[in-house]
Amino acid sequence: MKLLWDHLYGKQEKQDLVVCRPHALFYSHEEEDALENGWLLLDGKYKNYKEVWYQSRSTRLNLSKNKLDKKEFFLGEDRVNMSEIHPKIEDTAWTGMHQIYKDYIKRKGFSDLYNPFEHVGKRDSFLVYYLNNNKNKLIGFTKIRKYIGWDGEIEHYRNPYTELSLFPDEEHMYLHHCSMESVIHCNTVQISQISLDMEIQMAKEREMDHLYLGSGYESSSEYKANYEGFEWWNGIRWSTSKKTYRKLCRRDSEITRIEDLPSSS
């Protein structure tokens, strides 16, 4: 492991304040420990590095504690279908996902902080959603990322300064030591709960340990605590206190000035 610190801002004349983002590089055999200590991969490059991990209030579902077992999903009377695709960066435009993303952030009032199609690595794929087997009209998508645990037998060493140099084949993708992250999901109709249920079901069928849900900040992330097996990284351990998590999310949205930041969580 190698730690990287992005020093963003500081005050020392009238205030003792240092603001910096922690990042890290991990080898493959360290990957499982990285996940267990709250690290997730950035969705994109950082400086000259292609695979960099970041630290945050990560969230996940412990799938052994989630009882979902559902084979069909419906939006009203229409059946919602899902397929997994592995497009190259230059091929994502024709899928229609770009327009779905633009419509989604406009509808939600979110800032366009990053482009989910700018970086599509070997770990990444997309789940696309459509109604009644009509693949010509997408109603949403989820970008997902797979993490492979180290079992001491399968070798998938990588150079942390570049990118994966060797990735397990599809047979090895669904080992028990595998976890998945739901990086971002966007839609044109209200299927967020349905699509997340479908992701949970897929991860359980592939015998994954956890489904990671990214960072948990502000009120828009409160919904993540509605699911069975929910856990969040408090900087020391994975907590199951949904009450505390929701309180922190609401506090995030209320704070608008640096002066209002608490000394600790």
Identify the pLDDT of residue 111: 78
Which pLDDT score is estimated for 260? Answer: 80
Cα–Cα nearest to 127, from 139, 111, 113? 139
- Sheet containing 39-41: order of strands: 2-11, 17-25, 53-55, 39-41
d(CA 151, CA 176): 10
Give pLDDT, residue 149: 63
211 lies in a domain?
yes
Give the pair of three-digit tokens for residue 183.
């990086």
Whether 36 is in a domain gets the answer: no
Q: For the domain that residue 136 is a member of, what is the CATH number? A: 3.40.630
Q: Is residue 237 part of a domain?
A: yes
Q: What pLDDT score does 222 carry?
A: 97
Q: What is the pLDDT along the chain (265 residues), one digit of tens a residue?
A: 999 999 999 989 988 888 899 999 998 778 889 999 999 999 988 888 888 999 999 999 999 999 999 999 999 999 999 999 999 888 888 899 999 999 999 888 887 777 899 989 888 999 999 999 998 889 999 999 998 765 444 444 444 444 443 344 444 443 445 799 999 999 999 999 999 999 999 999 988 999 999 999 999 999 999 999 999 999 999 999 999 999 999 999 999 887 787 766 6
Domain count, the chain: 1
User: Domain of 125?
Assistant: 58-156+168-260
Q: Give the residue from 191, 193, 197, 226 showing the smallest Cα distance to 211.
A: 197
DSSP state of 151: -
Is 71 contained in some domain? yes
The answer to whether residue 253 sits within a structural domain is yes
Nearest to 40 by CA among 27, 23, 62: 23
Alpha carbon distance 127, 142 (integer Å): 5
DSSP one-letter string for 85-100:
E---GGGSGGGTHHHH
Tell me which amino acid residue 55 is. Q
Burial grade of 5 (CB within 10 A; 0-12, 13-18, 19 or more): exposed
> CA 210, CA 213: separation in Å to the nearest integer?
10
Q: What is the value of pTM for the model shown? A: 0.86
Query: Which pair of structure tokens corresponds to residue 52?
Result: 């960099």
CB distance 165 to 159 below 8 Å: yes
Q: How far apart are CA 59 and CA 238, in angstroms?
A: 9
Please give the pLDDT value at position 256.
87
Residue 223 lies in a domain: yes
Does a structural domain hold residue 147? yes
Q: What's the Cα-to-Cα distance from 216 to each of 35, 57, 62, 186, rounded to whole Å?
A: 15, 6, 16, 17
Q: Which residues contact 131 (CB under 8 A, 6 or more apart)?
A: 75, 78, 79, 80, 81, 137, 139
**By the 8 A CB rule, do 173 and 199 touch?**
no
Note whether 202 and 185 are within 8 A (CB).
no
**pLDDT at residue 226, as a whole number:** 97
Pick from 26, 27, 22: nearest CA to 6: 22
Please report whether residue 183 resides in a domain: yes
